[in-house]
Amino acid sequence: MLLCSVSASGASLYAQSPTFGLGHTPKAEDLKAIDIEVTPDGKGLAPGRGTAEAGKTTYANRCATCHGPTGVEGPQDVLVGGQGSLKAPAQPLKTIGSYWPYATTIWDYIRRAMPFDHPGTLTPDQIYETTAYLLFLNGIVGEHDVLDQTTLPQVKMPNRDGFVIDPRPDIRPDTTTTTPNSRKPQSPPKKGS
């Protein structure tokens, strides 16, 4: 009981701590700028469109120096190939084509992180077309397939069903979402129960 009251007053002290003149309360537009999550079903995708054909040039200009002319040469992450290599005895090659379960995540990732040296500089159309080009190089979409808010979530990635639920007994699936990695650790058993 004593323990309870101490921690409760600790929490209220924290809430009432004085302002030190650092930072500011974020404005609605500050929050909007970082609220750019795209979920596997495509929620959060910006309007726009692109084909692999159009993405070839953008990729050559903005991506190839680091990922190679066809996505396999590097020097940075290999983006193409590796399909079928995730099962032993093959040496696994994890690329967006062989490993990533959702095409929408590629769009989200490119928007927030690429090009590595100038993130945030691509237009939505450029993001759709480079995503399309990488999917095309991986043999997942055709060169003229139009990817947009509706069609991108419909792309079925080769490893979509390759994720399994963690069988460890202290980990249980989070039933509120279908994202493969979102699992809540079970809360420890209560004392005396």
- Positions touching ligand HEC (CB under 6 A) are 62-63, 65-67, 76-77, 79, 95-96, 106, 109-110, 114-117, 122, 130
Q: Which is nearer to ligand HEC, 110 or 155 (CB)?
A: 110
- 97 with 82: CB under 8 angstroms? yes
Please, which residue, 66 or 72, has the CB nearer to ligand HEC? 66
Residues 6+ apart with CB under 8 A from 152: 42, 45, 103, 104, 107, 128, 131
Separation CA 106–CA 38 (nearest Å):
10
Question: Least Å distance between CB 76 and ligand HEC?
Answer: 4
Please, which residue, 18 or 121, has the CB nearer to ligand HEC?
Answer: 121
Q: How far is the CB of 95 from ligand HEC (least distance, A)?
A: 6
Nearest approach in angstroms of CB 18 to ligand HEC is 38
CB of 62 to ligand HEC, least distance (A): 4
How near is the Cβ of 185 to ligand HEC at its closest, in Å? 25
Question: Least separation, in Å, of the C-beta of 140 and ligand HEC?
Answer: 13
Closest to ligand HEC by CB, 138 or 149: 138
The closest of 133, 127, 149, 147 to 41, measured between CA atoms, is 149
Nearer to ligand HEC, 121 or 186 (CB): 121
Toward ligand HEC, which CB reaches closer, 9 or 140? 140
Of 53, 39, 4, the C-alpha closest to 177 is 39
